[in-house]
A and B are shown apart, each in its own frame.
Chain A
Amino acid sequence: MELINKLLQGDKRACARIITKIENNEDEAVDILKEIYKHTGKAHVVGITGPPGGGKSTLTYRLSKDLSNQGKKVGIIAIDPTSPFSGGSILGDRIRMNELSTDPNVFIRSMGTRGHLGGLSKATHGGIKAFDAFGCDYIFVETVGVGQSEVDIVRTADTVVMVMVPGLGDDIQAIKAGIMEIADIFAVNKSDLDGAERTTAEIRMMVEMGNNENKPSILNVIANKNKGILELIEEINRHKEYLVLSGKLEEKRTERIRSEIITLIEDEIKSRIFNDKDIYKLLDNVLKNVYNKEIDPYSAKDKLFKAIV
């Protein structure tokens, strides 16, 4: 397909159009993804996550700018929540990255979660594949950043950077449970603010208590003053190297493929069932029975399931 060829040659419009097709779940999207799959696997996928207001966008901007200066090609997927009421969203992550808009080495794509829970959008994985085939060396995935719903990122990124800021206080305790397992690198942003040392110390304590074999590293950065960015890039590269040498990369990615296939099957089952009008009819028929207590929902499920299988 012409569009795919263009993508592989690094055409931005083609890349943008393909991501749109993936996001909108258009019929062609799967064919495209099938076709480009063999061209993926080269990019290093970095998740940027952490509580709101931590400066994730600014950090992503700085990292991308420096990588671009090093001649690397960077893709950014920035995710913001979609309103469950209107289905609309305001995607504002570009505000921090405007300077990169015209950088030929950088491609930024904003996505709404469109009803997907877990901190990412459903199209994130497809978007990553498109960027990968497009020739990106690094792909940054900036999550929504709302507390603990950030589990998706582990199954998506090779390296997860958790962006923290001083002054979160008790919040660290609150999010501790969720974050300890997922972070490969802690970046304490705005480390020139009061309380930065305390925040770093608290994270260090948590890291020490954890039982990961590869303990996450902790770095101080000041994204808006461009401090500590090169060090963070080095740390990301070090983690990448560790993954490759230890065989963890293959392990991680294999696990990712497993969960991806499972998700695909689930999606397929769901869509087959709920696109089947007969099944809907059956469902409608039992509702009244369940309401009238003639049958319980569990038995209704068994009955429907038998019909489906």
Chain B
Amino acid sequence: MDRPIRVLVAKPGLDGHDRGAKVIARALRDAGMEVIYTGLRQTPEQIVSAAIQEDVDVVAMSILSGAHNHLFPKVVNLLKEEGIEDILIIGGGVIPEDDIPGLKEAGIEEVFTPGTPTTVTIDFIKNNLKK
């Protein structure tokens, strides 16, 4: 049996719009992945602890509130501090095109904006695993 890809789907910050996160969680499940869904209002510290305990391959975060420039890089940095570099980190939400280069520089490997088909995200995960 192939090992399933494990993905942590998290909503950092206070934003309560979880339609995107839930849709992606379902789509990843239907693509055969194990999705650990953590719900709303996650601090970067909680996300990193959960990622470690669950030994995930991917951390997928969604923010629609505009706090992405602050919260996404913070998660990457905390993971780095823990010496973890083999987790694929991706983000999605209402994110201006202008912000994407900066986020990628900070270690978010891909940013998915509204309208991205779930299949694109699924393929990206499958082709970019680090473990």
Contacts and interface: CB of A to CB of B under 8 A. Distances in A.
8 contacts: A16-B54, A20-B6, A24-B3, A86-B32, A92-B37, A101-B38, A102-B45, A102-B46
Contacts of B117: none
Interface string B74-103: 000000001010000000000000000000
B39 A95 contact: yes
A108 B26 contact: no
B32 A88 contact: yes
Interface of A is mostly: mixed
Interface string A1-28: 0000000000011001101100111000
Q: Which of A91, A95, A108 has the most CB of B within 10 A?
A: A91
Contacts of B26: 90
A102 B49 contact: yes
Interface residues of B, number: 31
B8 to A, nearest CB: 9
A86 B31 contact: yes
Contacts of A98: 38-39, 41-42, 46, 50
B1 to A, nearest CB: 7
Interface residues of A, number: 29
Interface string A216-256: 00000000000000000000000000000000000000000
Contact of B37 (A83, A86, A91, A114): A91
Interface of A: 12-13, 16-17, 19-20, 23-25, 82-83, 86-92, 94-95, 98, 101-102, 107-110, 112, 114
Contacts of A94: 36-39, 50, 54
B29 A17 contact: no
Nearest to B39: A95
A291 B55 CA distance: 47
A91 B3 contact: no
A91 B46 contact: no
A107 B53 contact: yes
Contacts of A16: 52-55
Contact of A89 (B34, B42, B43, B54): B34
B71 to A, nearest CB: 15
B57 to A, nearest CB: 10
A87 B32 contact: yes
A58 to B, nearest CB: 13
Given A88-B32, A88-B35, A95-B38, 15 more contacts: A20-B55, A83-B29, A83-B30, A86-B29, A86-B31, A88-B4, A88-B31, A89-B34, A94-B38, A98-B38, A101-B50, A101-B53, A102-B46, A109-B54, A110-B54
B82 to A, nearest CB: 7
A25 B3 CA distance: 9
